[in-house]
Amino acid sequence: MPVICRDCGNLDEGGAPTCPACDGARLIRHPELLDLCIAHIDCDSFYASVEKRDNPSLADKPVIVGHPGGRGVVTTACYVARKFGPRSAMPMFKALELCPHAVVIPPDIAKYKRVSADIRALFAKASPLVEPLSLDEAYLDLSPGVRLVDRPPAVLLARLARAIHTRIGITVSVGLSYNKFLAKMASDFNKPHGFSVVGRAEAKSILAPLPVRALWGIGEATARRMAEQGITTIAQLQALPEAELVARWGKFGRQLAGLVHGIDPRRINPDRPAKSVSTETTFARDIRDATALAAALLPLAEGVARRLDRQNLAGRTVVLKLKTGDFQLITRHQRLTDPTRRADIIAQAGLALLDKLADGRAFRLIGIGITDLCPPDEADPPDLFGR
- The Cα 364–Cα 77 span in angstroms is 33
Q: 320 has which bridge partners?
A: 332, 368
Query: What are the angstrom distances between the C-alpha of 70 and each of 63, 66, 95, 112, 367?
Result: 17, 11, 10, 24, 24
Instruction: Assess 248 for contact with ligand TTP (CB under 6 A).
Output: no
3-state secondary structure (DSSP) of residue 199: coil
In the chain, what is the straight-line distance between the N-terminal and C-terminal CA atoms, in Å?
47
Nearest-angstrom CA–CA distance, 224 and 235: 17
Binding to ligand TTP in span 80-119, by CB under 6 A: 88-89
With CB cut-offs between 5 and 8 Å by kind, which of ligand TTP, Mg ion, none does residue 333 bind? Answer: ligand TTP
Q: Which is nearer to ligand TTP, 76 or 278 (CB)?
A: 76
User: Which residue stretch of 10-18, 42-50, 54-62, 313-321 sits at the interface with Mg ion (rule: CB under 5 A)?
Assistant: 42-50
User: Is 95 or 226 the residue whose CB approaches ligand TTP more closely?
Assistant: 95
Q: Which is nearer to ligand TTP, 89 or 295 (CB)?
A: 89
Are residues 290 and 358 in contact, defined by beta-carbon separation less than 8 angstroms? yes
Q: How far apart are CA 299 and CA 368, in angstroms?
A: 10
Regarding beta strands 3-5 and 11-12, do their DSSP bridges make them parallel or antiparallel, or are they unpaired?
A: antiparallel
Q: Is 378 a catalytic residue?
A: no
The least CB distance from residue 134 to ligand TTP, in Å, is: 6
Binding partner of 335, given ligand TTP, Mg ion, none, CB within 5-8 angstroms per partner class: ligand TTP
Percent of residues in the chain assigned helix, strand, coil, to nearest 5 = 40, 25, 40
Torsions phi, psi for 378 (to 5 deg): -95, -5
Query: Rounded to an integer, what distance in angstroms lies between the CA atom of residue 40 and that of residue 175?
Result: 5
Does residue number 136 form part of the binding site for Mg ion (CB under 5 A)? Answer: yes
The one-character DSSP state at 212 is G
**Which of ligand TTP, Mg ion, none interacts with 88 (beta carbon under 5 to 8 A by kind)?**
ligand TTP
Note whether 43 binds Mg ion by CB under 5 A. yes
Closer Cβ to ligand TTP, 141 or 372, answer by number: 372
Residues 309-348 that bind ligand TTP (CB under 6 A): 333, 335
Residue closer to ligand TTP (CB basis): 2 or 132: 132
Please tell me whether residue 42 binds Mg ion under the rule CB under 5 A: yes
The option from ligand TTP, Mg ion, none interacting with 222 (CB < 5 to 8 A, set by class) reads none
- The active-site residue, picked from 32, 51, 137, 378, is 137
Q: Which residues are catalytic?
A: 137
Instruction: Please report, as ranges, the residues that interact with ligand TTP according to CB under 6 A.
Output: 42-47, 75-76, 88-89, 136-137, 191-192, 333, 335
